[in-house]
Amino acid sequence: MTTYTPRQAEAIACLREPLQIIACAGSGKTQVISQRIASILAQPDVEPKNIIAFTFTEKAAAELRERILSILEKEDFDTLGLAEMYVGTMHGYTLDLLQRLVPETFKFSVLTEITSRMLVDRSSRKSGLTGCPTSSSGTPYLHRFLHSRLFLQAMSVLREDTVDWDQVPAGVVSAFESYTRLLYEHAYFDFTEMINLAVQLLEDGDDDQSARVVRQHVRNDVRYVVVDEYQDVNPLQERLVRGLTQFGANLCVVGDDDQTIYQWRGSEVSNIVTFKDRYPGVRQVTLGENFRSSEGVVEVGRSVAERIPEDSRLPKAMVRAGHQKWQRGDMIARAFGDEISEAAWICDRLEAMRGLAFSDTAEADPRGLSWSDFAVLFRSVANDAGPLVEEMRSRDIPYVVKGLNRLFDSPEIQAVVGVFRYMAGLISVADLRRLWDLASLLPVNAGWAEALAVLDEGRDFYRGQRWGVYNIQRLYLEFMEVLGLREETVPGDPVRRELVFYQLGKFSQAISDFEQIYFNTDPLQKYEAFAAWLEHQARRYYAESDGDVGYATPDAVVLTTVHQAKGMQWPAVFLPCLRANRFPAKRQGGLGLFHVIPEVAIGEADRYKGTLDDETRLFYVAVTRAQKYLFVSFSPGPNRLYRRRSAFFDHCAAQQWFSTRDNGVPTDAPRLEPRARVDIPSVTLSFSELKYLFECPYQFKLRFLYGFNPPIHEALGYGKGLHDALAEVHKRAITGDLTSSQEAESLVTRHLHTPYAYPELKATLHRAAVQAVQRYLREHETDLERTVHSEKQIQVHVAPGVTVDGRIDLVRRLDTDELAIVDFKSTARAQDEDVTRDQLHVYAVGYEELTGQRADLIEVLNLDEEGKTIREEVEDPLLIAVRARIKEAGDSLRENNLPRLPAWGEQCGKCDLAELCRDVPPSAKSERRAATGR
C-alpha cells in the first residue's frame, strides 16, 4: 500500500472544489492523479464515463491508464465500464467526440504536419499560401514550398491563440479563410481544427443541431475533468477545458509552471499562474517534496528556478524528501579545451561508474549501475552530439541516439531516392546502379534488368491509362519484389537486415504520406513532385530512430534532447556542451511568425520568440532529471558563436554542491554486478493490429513495426462510408428516430467519401452504397428499434501491460430476445473465417468487461448483395482460449518474436505484402493477380 504525504492526501481527497495541484519535479504527481481518480470512482454515484483525464502525449496517457488500472486492481475494485473513462490527449478526445456525435464529421480524416504541408503546397493558391502577405519588404507574399511551414504555423496560431482580429492584415485573414475552406472541402482536420471545431460547438448556443447534441452529452455525462501538464495548455485548449466544465463538472489541473518548455508551440504559462484568479473557490495544493533526487540535485534545481523572475512564477520551494544521499564528487562541473576531451571525459566517467551500487528506492536492494542508467542530455542533439557519438562508438559503449540520424542521410535510402530521381528523369541508369552498389543493397541474384523494366514501364506516362494506374507505392513494392529484395536477401548480418528493412518500410510510409495528397495528379507531374519533395522536404521530417524496431528497451546509454527527457529520470545525467548561444539558445533569424501576424495581434506574443526565461526553465528540467549523479560540462564548439561558456554552466560551477575537479570514483565505493532496471513495456493493440498478429506475425511486423503500406486502392473509403451511414442509422434508432429507406440517398451523400476514385468509379460506388443501405434498411426495418449500442468502445486488459481496444459496430437484441454482437463487412473478399471468429470473441470478452453482460451470439453481417451472414454462439471455452491467445501475442510482440508462417498458406494469398516475405508458388500466381490487380 502506498503511503501519502499530508499534501498528497489532501489533493487526493479534494473532490468538490476546483483543484490546482502544483507539482514540483519528482513529487509523485502521476501516482497522486491516479489515486485521486480511483477515489472519484469509489464514490457510489460515479460511473467511469463521467471522468475525463487529459495528458499531453499518448505515452503519458498509457502510463496513467496503466497506473490507474493497477490501483483499481489492487483495491479489488469493480472495473465495469472502465473503457468509457477517457484517458488520453485533447486531440484524441475531441476527434472521438466529433466522430461519435456529429455525423457530418464521420468521414473526416486527420492531416499530420507532413501531409498538411503537402496539401498546402499542392494547392498553393487555393490554400491561401501564395496570397498571404508578409511585412518583410523582400518577400511581399509567401512562396510555395519555401514558406508552407511558416504559413501553417500562422494558421495554427490564428486558431489557438487569443487574437485581436482587427490587427491582422486583411490579406492574412482571407488566406486563413481559404485555408479552412480547403480543409472542409477535402474533409480534413488538421491537429488544431478538431479541437477548434469542438470548442465552437461547446461555446455555441443550443440552436445549432450539432452543438445541441454535443452540449447535451457534456451536460449529462462529464462530471470530472483532470488536466495533466496544465502549464503546456494553449489558449484554445483552455477554452476546451472551460467548455467541458461549463455545466458544473469538477476541474483539477496539475502542473509545474517552472517546467513550461513548449511555449514556442503556444503553451501559455499564464494559464497556470493565474488559474486561481480565473476560477472561483480554487483550492491550491503544492507538492513541493521531491522524492526523486539527492539534496544536491534538488538544491541546484531550486537555485536554477530562482533565476526566473518571481512575478512570472508561482511561489514554491522544492525540498528533498527521497532517500538519495548527496556525496562530494557526485556532481561535477568541468570545462574543457576542445570537444574531443569533453567526449573522452564523459566516456571515462561512464566506464568508471558502471557497477556502482545504487538503490532505486529506500526499500529495494541495491544493484550495480548499468548502461541504461546513464543519460546524456543535449540542447541540440543534431548539432552537438557528433563527437560524443564518435567516441562512444570507438569504445564500444552501447548507446541509443534520439534525433541525430535522419532517415534520408543513410546510403540505403539515398539508393531508393535514386529510383525516383530516375523516374523523374533526373539521373541515368548508370547513376542509379552506382547508388545501389554504394549502399550494398543488391541481393546476390538480383533481377536488376527486370527491375529496371518495371521502372521503365512505370515511366511510360503516355500510355493513356488512368492516372490511378501510375501508383508510386505499387511501383516501389514491385521494384523490390522483382529485384528479389527481402529481409533475408539483404546483404549483411541479421542486425543490418532488420535495420535496412526498417528503413525501407519507413520509406513506404513516406510514399503513403505523399500519395494521400498527390494521388490524383497527372502522372509525370506527380513523379516530378515526388522527387522534388524527397529532395527538399522529406529529409527534415523522417528521423531514422524515432521508432525503435520492436518494443524492447535496450540496455544502452541514452543520448537525447532535454525536451524529450521531460518526465523521465536517470540515476546519472550528463549535460555537456553548455555553450553561450546554444543553451541558452540565441534567437533564430529569417522570415518568422511576426512577419505574417503582427505582434500586437497576439496576446503574450513573446512566448513565440524563445526568451531567456524559457531557456532557464528548460535547464531546470534538465537538472532535475538526475537522481544522484549530475555532470555539467563545457567545451568550445566548432565555430566562433559557441566559444564562450554558458551562463548556466557558470551558475552550476558556483554552487557548493558541485566539484570543479574530477577526483575519480572513490576506490572504496561499493560495487555490484551491473543490472539494468527492468521496464515491462506496455502494449496496446487495436483490433486491426490484433487481426494481423493472429493472421501472420511477420505480416504484422512488416506493417506496424517497419511501416510497409499496401498501394492506395481507388475505391478506398467505400467500406468506411457504408459503415458510417449505418452508424448514424443506429445512433438515431437508439433515440427512437427510425430511418426510412428513402433516406438512403442523403445518408450516402453525407458519409461516402472516396477521394481516390475517378469520376465514373465515384458514381458507381455511390450507386452501390445507396443500394446497400436501402437493402439493409429494408431487411432490418423491424430490428432497428432493438438496437442496444452503436459503435461501443471496449477495452480488454488481458494481462499486466497488455491491452486491446476497439469498437463494436452494433449490439442488438434479436427476435429470440438473445443479445447479439454484430460486425459489418462490406467486401465480398471477406477475411479468413477463423480470424473473424477470433475477433468477434474478443468483442464478446470486451463487451462483458464493459457492461457485465454476456452476449449470446456473434454475427458477421455482409453488406454486399451476395455476401453471407455468419452467426454463432458465444462459448466459454472460446472466450478463455481467445484471452490466452491475446496474451501470447502480446508476449511474443514484446520479445520481438514475429516469425513467418512455416509455409505458403491461404492467408498469404490475401496478403498484399506476401512478395516481400517469400516466393509465390506458381499455383497461387494467377489467382493472386486477379485479387490484387497486378
| Interface residues toward DNA, by CB under 7 A | 56-59, 88-89, 91-92, 95-96, 109-110, 112-113, 136, 138-139, 143, 146, 191-192, 264-265, 379-383, 402-403, 561, 563-564, 580-581, 585-592, 595, 610, 639-641, 643-644
Instruction: Output the smallest distance, CB 666 to DNA, in A.
Output: 35
Radius of gyration of the chain (CA): 29
Residue nearer to DNA on the CB measure, 330 or 384:
384
Residue nearer to DNA on the CB measure, 46 or 647:
647
Instruction: Output the smallest distance, CB 113 to DNA, in A.
Output: 4
| Cα→Cα distances 893→70, 454, 640, 680, 803, Å | 22, 35, 49, 12, 13
Residue nearer to DNA on the CB measure, 57 or 70:
57
Instruction: Output the smallest distance, CB 261 to DNA, in A.
Output: 7
Instruction: Output the smallest distance, CB 556 to DNA, in A.
Output: 18
Instruction: Output the smallest distance, CB 901 to DNA, in A.
Output: 29
Residue nearer to DNA on the CB measure, 4 or 145:
145
Residue nearer to DNA on the CB measure, 189 or 843:
189
Residue nearer to DNA on the CB measure, 126 or 143:
143
Task: Tell me the DSSP string of 783-818.
Answer: TGGGEEEEEEEEEEEEETTEEEEEEEEEEEE-TTS-
Instruction: Output the smallest distance, CB 778 to DNA, in A.
Output: 34
Instruction: Output the smallest distance, CB 197 to DNA, in A.
Output: 13
Residue 147 has which C-alpha cell?
514558406
Residue 378 has which C-alpha cell?
543535449
Instruction: Output the smallest distance, CB 565 to DNA, in A.
Output: 9
Instruction: Output the smallest distance, CB 216 to DNA, in A.
Output: 23
Residue nearer to DNA on the CB measure, 591 or 761:
591
| Cα→Cα distances 403→10, 300, 387, 544, 545, Å | 41, 28, 15, 8, 7
802-813 and 787-799 beta bridge pairing: antiparallel
Nearest to 713 by CA among 466, 920, 916, 454: 466
| Cα→Cα distances 360→363, 434, 771, Å | 8, 53, 64
- Count of residues in the chain: 934
Residue nearer to DNA on the CB measure, 81 or 92:
92
Residue nearer to DNA on the CB measure, 58 or 781:
58
For 39-194, where are the E strands, in sequence order?
51-54, 86-88, 109-110, 188-189
Instruction: Output the smallest distance, CB 109 to DNA, in A.
Output: 7
Instruction: Output the smallest distance, CB 572 to DNA, in A.
Output: 21
Residues 6+ apart with CB under 8 A from 553: 372, 679, 681
Alpha helices (H) in 696-800, listed in sequence order: 697-700, 718-734, 744-751, 759-779
Helical axes 235-245 vs 191-203, angle rounded to 10°: 40
Residues 6+ apart with CB under 8 A from 310: none
User: What is the distance between the terminal CA atoms of the chain, rounded to a whole angstrom?
Assistant: 61
Residue nearer to DNA on the CB measure, 548 or 833:
548
CA 186 to chain centroid, in Å, comes to 23
For cell 462529464, what's the residue? 222
Distance CA 184, CA 126 (A): 12
Residue nearer to DNA on the CB measure, 617 or 691:
617
**Is the preceding omega at residue 584 within 30 degrees of 0, hence cis?**
yes
